[in-house]
C-alpha cells in the first residue's frame, strides 16, 4: 500500500500498480486512448499526461508505476496546455466528420476535445486523406482517416484472440491500421474491436447508421445464447409511432464471467428479439384475443389435472422454473427439461463460447427438475396435455405418437409452425422480462432487462401467477417468497444480486 496525493487529495493505492489504473479506479477523469484495462499499457497516444512533482516534464500515467509519496496533478493550466497540444496533433488529419460518424455521442475524441480542446484550427496545409470505407471483414468497417492509431485493435488480435490479423502499415502521417492481404478479420470475437476503438474508426456493419447512440437507452442483461451467460448492455430505443427496437448488444464488464468481451454470435443474437416476436395467440389454428387465450390456458390446466406434462426450456430463468415447479405441484403435473439439441460441440471454445447452449441448465439439478430422456418419455406416455414453456422444438414429440395429445405452447418467438396446436400463447421474449440465471460455472446473475413492446404480451411470471392464483408477478416477490428459502441460495441477497454476480457452489 502506498499513499499518493492527486490534486491535493490523498489516495491510498497499491504500490507498483500503474498510475492510470488507480486514477480511473478512484473516478479521476484521465483522458486516454491506447490504455485499456484488458489490453494493458502501450504508451503511444500520450493523452494521459499528468504532472508528477519532482519530474521535469509531464509523464504518461499509463506507464508510470506508483511510488509511495507521489504528488500528482491531473489538472491545471500547464497540463491542460499539454493535453490540448497532443489533441491538436491527434486531430491534424482527422476529418472531423462527426455528423456522419457513428461514434458521435460516445467518442473519446469528442469528449476530450470538449474537455480540454476547444481551440481554433491552425492547419494551413491540406489534410492527409486515407480510405474512408475499408471492409476488414467480420462485420467490421475501418475508416482510416478517423483512426488515432492507439492500436487497441491490433493488440486485441495479438493478446486476446492471438490471431494477429491486424497491424499498422506505413509510417508517420501515412500510418494506417490494416489487415494482411487476402487475410480478412475472421475470428469469432472480432467485433469487440468496434467497442475497443475509442473513436469512430472501427464501426460495426451491423449497427452502422442504424441509430444515433444518444437516442439509445441501455438495460443490463445477460446473454442467453450459451451457458456462459455473458453480461450485456441491451441498447434499445422506441421511435415515435414505432415499436420498441433493440439496436445492439454491448459487452458489460463482469470479471467473474466474461471480462470486457463477448462473442460475435452472442452480440448478434439480438436480431431474434426484434424479428421473431410479432405473432398472435392462436387457439386450434385460429387467431384469438389475448385475454381469451389466457382464459383458455387456465381452462386447459384445470381440465387436465394430473394428466399434464410441462416441457420446459432450460433457458428459463430461475424464478420461472421455481414457479413452474409450484405449478406442477398444484396441478399434479410432470416436468421435464429434456432437450436433445442442448449441446453443440462445434460452438464451444476455450474462451467464452460454451458448448452447452442452455442459459440456465445448472439450475435444473438444484431445483430437482428432470432433464433426462427417460423422464420425458414416461411423462409423455401418461400425459394428455403437453405444455411447452419457453421452447418450440415440437419436432421431438412429432416422432412419438402425439396426435392423441393436446399441445399448448407458451413461447416468446415466432414458432416454426402452429398447426395441430391446442393453444399457442405468446409470452415476452428474453429481453422482455427480468430473471436470474446460473451460468456454467455456477455464477448467479440477474438480468434486469424488461423492454415492453407494443403487442403487450404478458410475462411468463405473470401467466404463472394467474395459473397459480396468487400475485407473485415480479422476481423480487418470487425471491422473497420461495427462492431465498431454498438451500442453495441461502447466502444470496437479492438486492445485492441485482447489481453484482455471485458464485454459488454447484
Partner 1 sequence: MGIKIVKREGKSFKDRIYLPAILGGMMTTLGHFLRNLRDTSNIKTLNYPEEQPKDITSRYRGVHRLTKRDDGSVRCVACFMCATACPAECIFIEAQEREDGVDEKMPKVFTIDLLECVFCGGCVEACPCDAIRMDTGIFTFVAHKREDFLLTKDKLLSFEAKKEKA
Give me the residues that bind partner 1 (CB under 8 A), please. Answer: 97-100, 104, 132-133, 208-210, 212, 214-215, 239-240
- Tabulate helix, strand, coil % of the chain (nearest 5): 30, 20, 50
CB of 429 to partner 1, least distance (A): 25
Nearer to partner 1, 208 or 302 (CB): 208
Q: Which helix (H) or strand (E) holds 286?
A: strand 286-287
Which triple of cell numbers denotes residue 285? 389454428
CB of 144 to partner 1, least distance (A): 13
CB of 425 to partner 1, least distance (A): 34
CB of 344 to partner 1, least distance (A): 34
Nearer to partner 1, 240 or 286 (CB): 240
Nearer to partner 1, 74 or 93 (CB): 93
CB of 240 to partner 1, least distance (A): 5
CA within 13 Å, CB half, 124:
0
- Strands 308-312, 334-336: pairing is parallel
Nearer to partner 1, 274 or 474 (CB): 274
Q: Which residues of 166-189 are buried (b: 16+ CB within 10 A; e: fewer)?
A: beeeeeeeebbbbbeeeeebebbb
22-26 CB contacts, 8 Å cutoff, 24+ apart: 22/66, 23/50, 23/61, 23/72, 23/74
Nearer to partner 1, 109 or 335 (CB): 109
Nearer to partner 1, 12 or 135 (CB): 135
CB of 203 to partner 1, least distance (A): 10
141 — phi, psi (to 5°)?
-115, 135
- Positive/negative CA dihedral, 397, 402, 403, 405: negative
CB of 139 to partner 1, least distance (A): 14
CA angle 372, 378, 383 (to 5 degrees): 120
Nearer to partner 1, 161 or 203 (CB): 203
Point out which residues pair with 435 in neighbouring strands: 447
* 404 vs 72: CA distance, rounded Å: 78
- Positive/negative CA dihedral, 212, 218, 223, 225: negative
CA angle 357, 359, 362 (to 5 degrees): 105
CB of 100 to partner 1, least distance (A): 5
Nearer to partner 1, 42 or 145 (CB): 145
Residues 6+ positions from 256 with CB-CB distance below 8 Å: 441, 443, 501, 503
CB of 451 to partner 1, least distance (A): 20
Nearest to 399 by CA among 415, 382, 376: 376
Nearer to partner 1, 130 or 229 (CB): 130
Nearest to 263 by CA among 187, 372, 157: 187
Nearer to partner 1, 126 or 209 (CB): 209
Nearer to partner 1, 122 or 133 (CB): 133
Nearest to 376 by CA among 397, 355, 403: 397
Nearer to partner 1, 246 or 389 (CB): 246
Which triple of cell numbers denotes residue 470? 396468487
CB of 93 to partner 1, least distance (A): 17
* 32 vs 45: CA distance, rounded Å: 7
| Strands, E assignment, 84-209 | 134-137, 140-142, 166-169, 176-179, 202-204
Number of neighbouring beta carbons within 10 Å of residue 501: 18
* 364 vs 57: CA distance, rounded Å: 61
Nearer to partner 1, 90 or 145 (CB): 145
CB of 132 to partner 1, least distance (A): 6
CB of 420 to partner 1, least distance (A): 40
* 81 vs 86: CA distance, rounded Å: 9
CB of 209 to partner 1, least distance (A): 4
Amino acid at each position: 500500500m502506498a499513499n499518493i496525493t492527486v490534486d491535493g487529495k490523498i489516495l491510498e493505492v497499491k504500490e507498483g500498480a500503474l498510475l492510470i489504473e488507480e486514477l480511473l479506479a478512484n473516478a479521476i477523469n484521465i483522458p486516454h486512448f491506447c490504455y485499456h484495462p484488458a489490453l494493458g499499457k502501450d504508451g503511444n497516444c500520450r493523452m494521459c499526461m499528468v504532472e508528477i512533482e519532482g519530474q521535469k516534464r509531464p509523464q504518461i500515467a499509463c506507464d508510470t508505476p506508483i511510488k509511495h509519496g507521489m504528488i500528482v496533478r491531473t489538472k491545471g493550466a500547464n497540463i491542460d496546455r499539454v493535453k490540448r497540444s497532443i489533441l491538436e496533433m491527434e486531430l491534424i488529419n482527422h476529418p472531423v466528420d462527426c455528423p456522419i460518424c457513428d461514434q458521435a455521442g460516445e467518442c473519446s475524441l469528442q469528449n476530450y476535445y470538449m474537455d480540454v480542446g476547444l481551440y481554433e484550427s491552425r492547419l494551413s496545409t491540406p489534410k492527409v486523406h486515407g480510405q474512408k470505407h475499408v471492409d476488414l471483414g467480420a462485420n467490421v468497417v475501418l475508416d482510416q482517416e478517423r483512426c488515432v492509431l492507439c492500436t487497441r485493435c491490433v493488440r486485441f488480435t495479438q493478446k486476446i484472440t492471438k490471431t494477429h490479423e491486424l497491424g499498422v502499415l506505413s509510417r508517420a502521417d501515412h500510418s494506417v491500421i490494416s489487415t494482411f492481404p487476402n487475410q480478412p478479420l475472421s475470428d469469432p470475437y472480432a467485433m469487440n474491436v468496434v467497442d475497443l476503438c475509442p473513436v469512430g474508426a472501427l464501426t460495426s456493419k451491423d449497427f452502422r447508421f442504424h441509430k444515433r447512440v444518444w437516442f439509445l437507452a441501455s438495460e443490463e442483461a445477460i446473454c442467453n445464447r450459451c451457458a456462459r451467460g455473458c453480461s450485456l448492455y441491451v441498447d434499445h430505443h422506441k421511435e415515435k409511432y414505432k415499436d420498441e427496437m433493440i439496436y445492439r448488444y454491448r459487452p458489460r464488464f463482469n470479471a467473474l464471467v466474461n471480462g470486457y468481451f463477448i462473442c460475435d454470435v452472442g452480440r448478434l443474437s439480438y436480431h431474434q428479439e426484434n424479428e421473431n416476436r410479432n405473432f398472435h395467440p392462436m387457439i386450434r389454428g385460429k387467431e384469438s384475443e389475448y385475454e381469451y387465450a389466457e382464459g383458455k390456458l387456465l381452462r386447459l390446466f384445470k381440465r387436465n389435472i394430473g394428466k399434464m406434462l410441462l416441457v420446459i426450456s432450460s433457458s428459463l430463468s430461475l424464478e420461472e422454473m421455481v414457479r413452474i415447479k409450484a405449478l406442477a405441484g398444484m396441478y399434479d403435473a410432470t416436468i421435464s427439461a429434456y432437450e436433445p439439441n442442448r449441446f453443440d460441440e462445434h460452438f464451444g471454445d476455450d474462451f467464452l463460447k460454451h458448448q452447452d447452449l442452455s442459459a440456465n441448465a445448472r439450475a435444473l439439478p438444484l431445483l430437482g427438475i428432470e432433464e433426462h430422456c427417460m423422464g420425458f418419455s414416461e411423462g409423455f406416455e401418461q400425459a394428455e396435455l403437453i405444455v411447452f414453456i419457453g421452447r418450440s422444438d415440437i419436432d421431438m414429440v412429432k416422432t412419438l405418437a402425439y396426435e392423441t395429445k393436446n399441445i399448448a405452447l407458451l413461447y416468446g418467438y415466432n414458432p416454426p409452425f402452429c398447426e395441430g396446436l391446442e393453444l399457442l400463447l405468446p409470452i415476452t421474449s428474453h429481453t422482455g422480462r427480468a430473471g436470474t440465471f446460473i451460468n456454467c460455472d455456477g455464477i448467479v446473475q440477474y438480468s434486469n432487462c424488461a423492454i415492453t413492446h407494443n403487442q403487450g404480451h404478458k410475462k411468463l411470471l405473470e401467466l404463472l401467477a394467474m395459473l397459480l392464483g396468487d400475485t407473485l408477478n415480479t422476481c423480487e416477490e418470487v425471491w422473497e417468497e420461495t427462492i431465498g428459502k431454498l438451500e442453495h441460495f441461502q447466502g444470496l441477497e437479492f438486492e445485492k444480486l441485482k447489481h453484482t454476480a455471485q458464485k454459488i457452489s454447484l
